[in-house]
């Protein structure tokens, strides 16, 4: 028992799991960190230093890639190098009642090696939304509860951005922003003037560093983030939180460990450990601890809970409310507009900036901005660029000059919207089909509805209006028809709440039914919000929950 008992166990090594490991270890707890996939060593296991001509397919994906990973290969940053950080869909199947794209990365670091790195704080308008319009349950916390923890995690994460003083988009602690290019600056000025400051174009806030943090960064503007970054130019579990946890001497990292279930002690009414399948040997192991942080990412966390059945919890561990697996949300996105600008012909961009511009929410934030056809709101990401012609006729010097000629400037903005928490958007376990580890397949049943469609239509048309006011021409709208899962912001299936009858977790991300179990990944949230980059919120929630859990342990309240 001494060899397999720890103070704490963390399940998962993604964004929130890495933070749980760091915080628990730095507070002196001997912590076992479990990852279902292989180990990935920072720098050692990256291929970001390879030039395009050193890659067999010049970075492109093959028909075989599409065959074995029909879902993963559709993700925006899946390529010849990054594909090793995505799962094989045929090897890791799931069932779709309605189309749902589930992007997954099973390795140490999880999707922190693949995330979009946008970081925006949630505001009071986000935490009050459910209570105000009646969708979902009220958040048990408000902005003031989490604001100090945003302050705590942001300097370590390293976020470049600029303070803007927008009430519904709280400012944070930032490194200098990545500069807008000439067209973006011009459009931003025109939009601000045209809307009297009610609609703004600001710098994107991203966990790409413009200043060095210890041995990390700054960003080299190479646009190779999905390959892993040997410079540590962006925040990831592998570059930041796990090295910090390891430095304490308190962390034991165990990859190739598929958590099958949480072991529940009915007499003591607590989670006493986890049952793990070694993915290389298929042997089953059990590990025990005083507290457990379940951070396997939204859908895998849900699968583990639903698979953890006992006499006390026949419908899944901690599921007395019946809410586990329900209220699944993503974010509707892909609606927007683009246009051209004929000026600045003598100007060009340099480097590959890993972020663009951001348009904060401007709908349903006051009586003046209230809509009658939908609730909540949307934001935009986007940017301007100037490409090359790319193809031409001729030979010799004429061909070379034609190929290096530049096109006009183009600018686009694309919307990210809010997905309401519907009870019957859900995940369940298949009653018959199992994966190679003998665990039931996850069945996903999720869709966007009328509110999301109305919101998306407004977002598309508003994008065109903004670009027109910004001085662009030849404006075209688009809706890319993205389905749930495409945004990779799945949330809500083990939500927080004030009432144990309608929620799974309390305001400390602590399970109502099992008080030594904490969940701080995306499954814990009550609403999706409309700002991209929810990971910074998971980081803040994790640090907050660990602080609470360790204090409760010292008081003897968690045994």
Compute the 3-state secondary structure of the chain and give helix, strand, coil in percent, each to the nearest 5. Answer: 25, 25, 50
**Paired tokens of 506:** 């309390």
Residue-averaged pLDDT of the chain: 96
Q: What are phi and psi of 271, to 5 degrees?
A: -80, 125
Choose the weakest-confidence range: 113-122, 141-150, 159-168, 384-393. 384-393
The secondary structure element, H or E, covering residue 129 is helix 124-133
Interval 29-47: pLDDT, tens: 999 999 999 999 999 999 9
5-11/31-34 β-pairing: parallel
pLDDT of residue 1: 54
Task: Assign 225 to helix, strand or coil.
Answer: helix
Residues 472 and 107: beta-carbon distance below 8 Å: no
pLDDT of residue 395: 85
Task: Assign 542 to helix, strand or coil.
Answer: helix
Q: What are phi and psi of 165, to 5 degrees?
A: 70, 30
> What is the DSSP-derived secondary structure letter of residue 80?
T
| Distance from C-alpha of 58 to C-alpha of 55, rounded to nearest angstrom | 5
Residues 225 and 240: beta-carbon distance below 8 Å: no
Interval 228-257: pLDDT, tens: 999 999 999 999 999 999 999 999 999 999
pLDDT at 387 over 90: no
The alpha carbon of 315 is separated from its chain's Cα centroid by a whole number of angstroms, namely: 28
Mean pLDDT of 282-303: 97
Cα-Cα-Cα-Cα torsion 302, 308, 314, 319, nearest 10 degrees, comes to -40
pLDDT band at 321 (very low <50, low <70, confident <90, very high): very high
pLDDT of residue 299: 98
Residues 6+ apart with CB under 8 A from 385: 181, 349, 409, 410, 411
pLDDT band at 83 (very low <50, low <70, confident <90, very high): very high
The alpha carbon of 259 is separated from its chain's Cα centroid by a whole number of angstroms, namely: 21
**Paired tokens of 209:** 């560093």
pLDDT at 509 over 60: yes
Place of tokens 């899946």: 78
| Cis ω for the linkage preceding 64 (within 30 of 0) | no
| Distance from C-alpha of 439 to C-alpha of 91, rounded to nearest angstrom | 13
Nearest alpha-carbon partner for 307 in 244, 351, 357, 264: 264
Mean pLDDT of 194-219: 97
Identify the burial level of 412 via C-beta atoms within 10 angstroms of its C-beta, where 0-12 means exposed, 13-18 middle and 19 or more buried: buried
pLDDT of residue 388: 77
| Distance from C-alpha of 213 to C-alpha of 233, rounded to nearest angstrom | 9
| pTM metric for this prediction | 0.96
- The DSSP annotation for 353-418 comes to -S--EEE---SSSSGGG--SS-SS-EEEEEEEEEEE-------HHHHHHHHT-EEEEEEEEEEEE-
pLDDT at 407 over 90: no
Place of tokens 């060899």: 3
pLDDT band at 361 (very low <50, low <70, confident <90, very high): very high
Angle of helix 15-26 versus helix 535-554 axis, rounded to 10: 30
CA-CA distances (angstroms) from residue 206 to 358, 416, 446, 543?
11, 16, 29, 20
């Amino acid at each position: 028992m001494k060899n397999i008992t720890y103070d704490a166990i963390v399940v998962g090594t993604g964004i929130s799991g890495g933070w749980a490991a760091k915080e628990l270890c730095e507070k002196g707890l001997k912590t076992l960190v479990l990852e279902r996939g292989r180990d990935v060593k920072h720098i050692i296991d990256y291929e970001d230093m390879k030039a395009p001509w050193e890659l067999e397919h010049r970075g492109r994906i093959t028909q075989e890639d599409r065959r074995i990973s029909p879902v993963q290969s559709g993700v925006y940053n899946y390529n010849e190098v990054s594909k090793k950080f995505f799962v094989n869909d045929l090897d890791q199947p799931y069932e779709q009642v309605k189309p749902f794209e589930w992007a997954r990365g099973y390795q140490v670091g999880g999707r922190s090696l693949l995330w979009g790195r946008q970081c925006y704080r949630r505001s009071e308008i986000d935490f009050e939304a459910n209570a105000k319009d009646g969708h979902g349950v009220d958040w048990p916390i408000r902005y003031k509860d989490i604001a100090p923890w945003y302050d705590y995690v942001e300097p370590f994460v390293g976020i470049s951005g600029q303070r803007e003083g927008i009430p519904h988009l709280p400012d944070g602690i930032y490194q200098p922003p990545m500069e807008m290019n000439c067209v973006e600056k011009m459009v931003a000025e025109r939009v601000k003037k045209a809307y009297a400051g009610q609609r703004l174009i600001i710098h994107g806030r991203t966990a790409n560093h413009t200043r060095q943090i210890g041995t990390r960064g700054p960003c080299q503007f190479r646009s190779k983030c999905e390959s892993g970054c040997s410079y540590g130019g962006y925040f990831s579990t592998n570059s930041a939180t796990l090295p910090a946890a390891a430095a304490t001497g308190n962390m034991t990292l165990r990859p190739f460990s598929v958590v099958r279930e949480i072991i529940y002690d009915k007499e003591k009414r607590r989670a006493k450990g986890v049952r793990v399948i070694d993915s290389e040997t298929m042997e089953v192991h059990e590990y025990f601890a005083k507290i457990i942080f379940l951070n396997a990412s939204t859908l895998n966390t849900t699968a583990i809970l639903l698979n953890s059945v006992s006499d006390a919890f026949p419908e899944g561990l901690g599921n007395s409310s019946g809410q586990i697996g329900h209220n699944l949300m993503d974010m509707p996105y892909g609606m927007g507009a683009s246009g051209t600008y004929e000026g600045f012909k003598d100007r060009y961009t340099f480097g590959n900036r890993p972020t663009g511009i951001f348009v904060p929410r401007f709908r349903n934030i006051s009586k003046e901005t209230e809509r009658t056809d939908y609730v909540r709101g949307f934001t935009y990401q986007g940017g301007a660029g100037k490409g090359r012609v790319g193809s031409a006729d001729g030979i010799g010097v004429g061909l070379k000059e034609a190929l290096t000629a530049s096109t006009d400037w183009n600018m686009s903005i694309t919307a990210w919207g809010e997905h309401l928490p519907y009870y019957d958007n859900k995940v369940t376990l298949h009653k018959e089909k199992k994966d190679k580890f003998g665990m039931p397949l996850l069945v996903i049943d999720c869709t966007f509805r009328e509110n999301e469609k109305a919101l998306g239509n407004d977002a598309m048309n508003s994008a065109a209006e903004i670009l027109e006011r910004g001085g662009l021409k030849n404006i075209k709208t688009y809706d890319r028809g993205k389905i749930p899962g495409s945004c990779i912001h799945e949330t809500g299936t083990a939500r927080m709440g004030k009432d144990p009858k309608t929620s799974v977790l309390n305001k400390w991300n602590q399970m109502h039914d099992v008080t030594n179990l904490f969940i701080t990944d995306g499954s814990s949230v009550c609403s999706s919000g409309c700002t991209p980059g929810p990971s910074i919120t998971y980081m803040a929630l994790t640090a907050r929950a660990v602080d609470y859990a360790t204090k409760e342990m010292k008081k003897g309240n968690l045994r």
